Amino acid sequence: MMDWTDRHCRYFHRLLSTHALLYTEMLTTGALIHGDVPRHLDFNREEHPVALQLGGSDPTELAHSARLGQQWGYDEINLNCGCPSERVQRGSFGACLMAEPALVADCVKAMVDAVSVPVTVKHRIGIDKTESYGFVRDFVGAVSEAGCNVFLVHARNAWLKGLSPKENREVPPLRYEVAHRLKHEFPHLSFAVNGGFTTSAQVEEQLQELDGVMIGRAAYHNPWWLASWDSLYFGEPETGKTRESVEALMTEYMAREASAHATPWSSIARHMLGLRNGLPGARRWRQVWSDHRLRDQDPRDVMALAHEAVALPA
């Protein structure tokens, strides 16, 4: 979700669900050690609970980055052992780390010793075309002994050669039963499953077996789905929020960000373009919010134009 789940996206998603745990895009230890820490780690207090996802393979650097995350107020530190991109592989982290469970255990131990917030791991069920359950079982076993109690399982292998990151989300088959087997073998650990979920019925089926479900791109492309989660999964009463009320709150947020940080409204609005998916006039609404010729206008005026476009006859 790099370049997707920035703080503006997470603010938007928090308006839709009060309780869902949000994750940052993956941040590398190098970016935090050598880059602009406030730019990378600043977030809105409304985002809580929010987890910082890190990419790296050096225990000392990960411990330092985890401490920064805790100092900035993140509720969880997550280590990414699932990203298959070649750029990430060149940095010797992401999915290729699954081949080195002892190193991952050292990384987790260093982070656990450095912070008091939970340290979790996101991983695949295997790498390349080997579909051995023993591989992922031994990985989870070694990493859990280092102090990780929560595993986010993308239920596909990561093919490290020959597939793009997009193809790695589609070509390797989904095997949810592997995540179920891990839960049965390690009942004292928490497991959430990720990959391929687009409906509440699918999520509810997985919650019969596992402790949680992680939704990625489906939540981004169909964000209104999140509006049902608090009542479905957290026992909250219906709030009566509407797409229009959420859009109005985002428009006020855009105005505040423009005033405080000179943030163009377009860099925020891009995250909510799926809000009206499936509704009449959705394409015209998206066109207005994507029109960079309007970039100098007040976002509240842009919203009014978007609503006028929706009201036009088909």
DSSP 214-233: E--HHHHHSGGGGGGHHHHH
Q: Are residues 87 and 205 in the same domain?
A: yes
Question: What CATH number does residue 163 fall under?
Answer: 3.20.20.70
Which of 231, 256, 273 marks a domain boundary?
Answer: 231
Q: Are residues 100 and 213 in the same domain?
A: yes
The one catalytic residue in 83, 96, 107, 148 is: 83
Per-residue pLDDT of the chain (314 residues; tens, 9 = 90+): 567 799 999 999 999 999 999 999 999 999 999 999 999 999 999 999 999 999 999 999 999 999 999 999 999 999 999 876 665 555 567 788 999 999 999 999 999 999 999 999 999 999 988 889 999 999 999 999 999 999 999 999 988 877 777 787 778 899 999 999 999 999 999 999 999 999 999 999 999 999 999 999 999 999 999 999 999 999 998 888 999 999 999 999 999 999 999 999 999 999 999 999 999 999 999 999 999 999 999 999 999 999 999 987 65
Domain span including residue 274:
243-311
Angle between helices 243-261 and 7-16 (to 10 degrees): 150
Secondary structure (H, E, C), 148-171: CCEEEEEEEEECCCCCCHHHHCCC
Question: What token pair was written down for 63?
Answer: 């411990």
Residue 268 lies in a domain: yes
Q: Are residues 196 and 251 in the same domain?
A: no
Count of domains observed in the chain:
2
Q: Are residues 105 and 48 in the same domain?
A: yes
Residue 1 lies in a domain: no
Residue 19 lies in a domain: yes
Q: Is 81 a catalytic residue?
A: no
Q: Are residues 250 and 224 in the same domain?
A: no
Partners of residue 290 on adjacent β-strands: none
Pairing of β 50-55 and β 76-81? parallel
